Structure formats: structure tokens, C-alpha cells
Amino acid sequence: MGITDEFQKKPQGELIEAKTKFFEEIKKDKNFVGSLYDLDYEEAKILVNDFDKNAIKGLPHGCLLVAIYNNELRQNQTEAILLRVIGVCEIPQKKEIIQSMTDSYISKKENRANTDPDIYTKYFYQFSGLSCRVLGTFFLDKDKKLIFGTDIENFLGAHNYRVYKPQKQQLQIIVNENTESSNNETQEKIGILRYASSQSYDEDKNYAPDVFLRTNDIVARRTAFFGMTRTGKSNTIKIIISAIENLNTKQERKIGQIIFDVNGEYTFSNRQDEGSIYDRFKQRVIRFSTSLKKSQQHPDVRAVQYNFYNDETLEESFNLLCDEITQSDKKADYITHFTNINMFENISDKNSSEYRNQERKKALYKCILYRAKFETPQQILKFSGFSSSTLNSIPREGLDIKKACEYFDEIKIDNNNGNIDKKYAEDKDWESLLKVFQGTKVSGYRFLTKFNYLHSLKGENDYKKDIDSALREGKIILVDLSTASTETQQKYIDRLCEYIFKKSMEKFTNDEEPEFIQMYFEEAHNIFPKDDKDLKNIYNRLAKEGAKLKIGISYSTQEVSSIAPSILKNTQNWFISHLNNKDEIKALEKYYDFADFSQNIIRNSDVGFARVKTYSNNFIVPVQIQKFEVRD
């Protein structure tokens, strides 16, 4: 399908005119820039004059130009080479111009007020050279559809070409329609074309066209947002999220989106950003938070916490507690042994001594939580007591947690004074559990009190299951992690990603169609690996295998070098705003033709000014990203 098929919505007469006049409109005299004096497959050099530069209102770095010629091999059909300005170049007369100017200044040293050259010399001085990158070729195919190819099949002598600066209508086609599209493809405006920080030549906005994003470029693909803090990365991500929601609405699709909100700016409004994702899409959003306070303040906010007493999630919550203990400093050997306790085996025989022993361990573990000030529900613990003459029997209806604590306080496992069977007394699990519970000669349960923030009685269900189910229904999931430490954020995000990936992989391997899911990671340098040492890491797997599972990932950070090369190599969409470091620019230059924009990326720190390369677009487009608004 030709790129001018976007005009199908217009009357047939307008369609024909748009196709036939693309070249004619560009090569009007008012758009003339200069003439080529050198050309190869990669670069072109243009001879330009000050008069023409002023007439076309400037030639900023990164500016798109068109070199037009008649192709004799195709019955003299008009073709155009698309160029991007990447710098200045010397013309053969440069030395003569410089020598002439300096000679003139020297000869008139007594009359500094009158250093203007004569009219012929001034004309000679006005010429200079521009160096341009060759981006590809525009031509009409046999059906008169405008086509863009990303190279040139042939080039003629430089004297055959005249170079023009396309205007708004032609630029609209060049930057948005340089690849084939389908009739049902959805596009969303993300901003306007912008070449430079200085915009004095286009104050009336008559030159810069709108820039559109093909939303399907993002779906199930990898997208990177790089730039310094407060340069507009989060704003751009909000626009992407909105675009996918609009795609869901227009095409009745169910693409689920999950935002790991490490700063809370997507989940809740703040003073720096005007509006959150929740404010715009309240009816389609489900909010989760690690903050118990926020879940109490906002009735709709669900706790991303476990109820540590809930039997259905007891193993999950225990593993989370053990992970946090492992991260802590100065832990004694008995605490390390505690984290290795085995009390979650799948024992089918509910009447066996092994099953009864495992249930006793779980009951004692809950008593440890109670003593460590993990808020407790009014709970009855049902378990079988030990066969011992010195211990009270356990009623069939169980014991409340205080009575259960009294029961376990009576247990002794030392060789001389023990009151339980030897096989239990010699069980290292019981030794560790009792040492933590009783805490007579060690800190014991007191060591665990600093982890009780992980627990909430509101966390009744496994939040991972709830989130995964909602995503597959096409909901937006906002996970507020702003009150958690970096390490805790990492744990929650890892677990969620692994769970979602696992469920999608199960569908894929069972020959079922996985649902589309988009994941968004802020501060990705704290989450993603920095190297490729572990390619089985969940984030490397998402980057490499996510496409077949219909999982897309979008990540933002300040440093290109902080992301593992295997993830960068699998990234198809790039949004690059201001970077202040040459090392980061060097890392960026490995991908596509970002080297053409290196100096601009370092120099220009305007908020929202991004260099954008998307999956379907054949070249990088510099864009001023529009501001996210709660209302369209």
C-alpha cells in the first residue's frame, strides 16, 4: 500500500492532486536551497548562498531537505533524495574567501568603519557548504503511489540535482507517511516537528507539521526513553499510555497496561505534573500501593502487601520475608537457618504425621509473627499438639493465637529437659523456629519487628493473581511503589514480572493466544540488569521473548549505559531527550543514526524536545512532544 493512501478519506480529486503535486510543491522557487556539488550513497554536499538561506528562513542542524532530479532510466520520472543536514563542509573556494577577507581587513586597518567589500566580492563571500546524510528516495510507482525507499539505487552527476526545503504539507507526508500502512492503523499525535532550540524563524508555527505515532509500533515491542531528570520522559510515557487506551477504544481491543510507579506520579496527582494517568482514565484504572496509609486514604487503592496470616498466600509472604532478611546486615546463624525452614511441602495424606508436623510449624510461625508485632486478625490456629505428658492437649476447635503462644512456650528440646519426641527435638527446623519464637538468649522474634511493614490485613488475596487477571481483561494497573525502598521495589517488580511472564508462557506453550500486555518501568537503572552475565534474568527474557508472548516493555532512565546491551539491542522504539555526558552519547551512537544528533542532544536541554525513532518510521525525527493533559 502506498504512503499516500492516507488521503483515501479525501475526495478523489484531492487524492490525485496530492499524489501528483508532491514534487511540484516542493520544487517551487521559494523553497530553493542550493545545488549539489558532491554525492555518494551515504552523504551529499550542497553549495548554499546567504540570500537563499534567509529566503527559506534558515537551515538548522537536522533539517530535512530534498534533492530533486529526473531519472532517465524511468522515462524521466521525477525522483527525490531525502537529505538531513548534519553539518557544514568546506567548498573548494573556502581558502580563497578567507584569504580575501583577511587581506581586506588588513588593508583597511586605518578605516575600520568601512570594511564592507564591494558588491561582487560580497556575493563571492556569501557561498558556503552544507554536509547532509542521505536518508532515502521518494518516487512514484507504476500505480502513481508515492513510495519511500531507505537507500538510493543510483546517483547521477551532482549538477543534475537542485535542493529544496519542503514546507509544512510536504513535511507532514515525509515524517509521518514514509512507510506502508494499513487502512485500520491508528495514529496519535505526539507533538510537532522541531529542529532546534532556537525557533525565531517559525514563531507563527506555519512551518512545523504535526508528528504522529503509529500506536501499533509500541504494542508488544520494546521502547526506550532516555534523558536527564525533568526533561519530559514521564510526560511522553503518559502520552504513549493514552495512545494505547485510545487504540483499545477505537478498535475494541483489550491491551492491558501496568505501570510500575516508583515515584507515584502516575497513580496520584502531584504539584510538579499536571494530572496523572488515574485522573484521566479513572473508569479503566485499578490502583495498588505498597503504602498502607494511601490504601486507607483512598478507598479504591488496594494494598500491594500480603496478609502474612493468610493460609492461601502463606508461602509467598514467607518467601518475601526471607528475601528481606537476606538483604539485611548482621543476621545471626539461627536467623539464616530460619529462612531455610521447610514447611510448604505438598503432602497429600492429611492424616500422616508429616502433615501434622508441617501444620504445627505453620502455627508456630504465625505465633512468631504475632510476637514480632505483625498486626493479627482474630484468628484461631488449628493444629495437632505433640504427644507429651507435660504438654496440654490441643482442642479440636483449635486455640486463639495467645493461647497457642502459651503452648509453644512450654516446649523444650534440650537433651536433658526435652518434652517432645526426639525426632522433633533433633529437627533443625524446630530448633530454629523455637529459638526465634522464645528469644530467651537471642533477639529472636525482635529481629523481625523491623519487617512488619511488609504485612497488611488488607492484603487478603494474592495481589499478583489479581493484577494478572485485570491486565488480561485490558485494564490499566497502577502500582504505586513510592514509599518502598529501592530494594523492596525491585522485589515486588521482579515477582510481578515473573508471574505475568510465566502465565503468558503457559498459554503460549499450550497453543493458546496470550493477551496483549504493556509494562512500563521508571528508573529502569534500578531494575534492569547492567550487563549480560545472566541472560535468564526476567528482564532479558522480556526483551528477547516478550514479542512472541505479546508483552511489550517501555523503560526510562537517565543513562544508556545503565541498561544491559542485550535489552538495548532488542529495543525498536527510541525517545531521546537531553543527555549531558559524552560517554552516554557514545553508547547511544551504536544504535541507528543517533550520531547525527550527538551535539544537539548534549547542547539542547529544552523540556520535551526528543529525537524519536519508531519501529515503522525509516529515520529519526526530532519532535517537540506535546504536553499530557487530563482532558483531550
pLDDT interval class at 274 (50, 70, 90):
low
Q: Could you read off the pLDDT of 408-453 as tens digits, one per residue?
A: 988 887 766 666 777 777 788 888 999 999 887 778 899 999 998 8
Per the CB < 8 A criterion, the answer to whether 4 and 15 are in contact is yes
pLDDT interval class at 589 (50, 70, 90):
very high
- Quick one: pLDDT at residue 384? 87
Strand pairing report for 222-226 and 573-576: parallel
CA 222 to chain centroid:
7
pLDDT at 102 over 90: no
Question: Hey, is 308 helix, strand or coil?
Answer: coil
Domain 213-305+463-575 has CATH 3.40.50.300: yes
- Quick one: pLDDT at residue 461? 79
pLDDT interval class at 404 (50, 70, 90):
very high
Average pLDDT for residues 263-268, to the nearest whole number? 92
- Quick one: pLDDT at residue 304? 85
pLDDT at 200 over 50: yes
- Quick one: pLDDT at residue 4? 38
Residues 6+ apart with CB under 8 A from 629: 274, 275, 280
Cell of 6: 492516507
E-strand spans in 141-238? 146-149, 162-164, 187-193, 210-214, 222-226
Angle at 579 between CA 578 and CA 582, to 5 degrees: 145
Mean predicted lDDT score pLDDT of the chain: 88
| CA–CA distance, 413 with 419 (Å, rounded to integer) | 7
- Quick one: pLDDT at residue 5? 40
Cell of 138: 521518494
| CA–CA distance, 368 with 438 (Å, rounded to integer) | 9
List the domain boundaries for the chain: 3-183, 213-305+463-575, 311-454
pLDDT interval class at 154 (50, 70, 90):
confident
- Quick one: pLDDT at residue 8? 39
Name the pTM for this structure. Answer: 0.87
- Quick one: pLDDT at residue 330? 66
| CA–CA distance, 145 with 15 (Å, rounded to integer) | 10
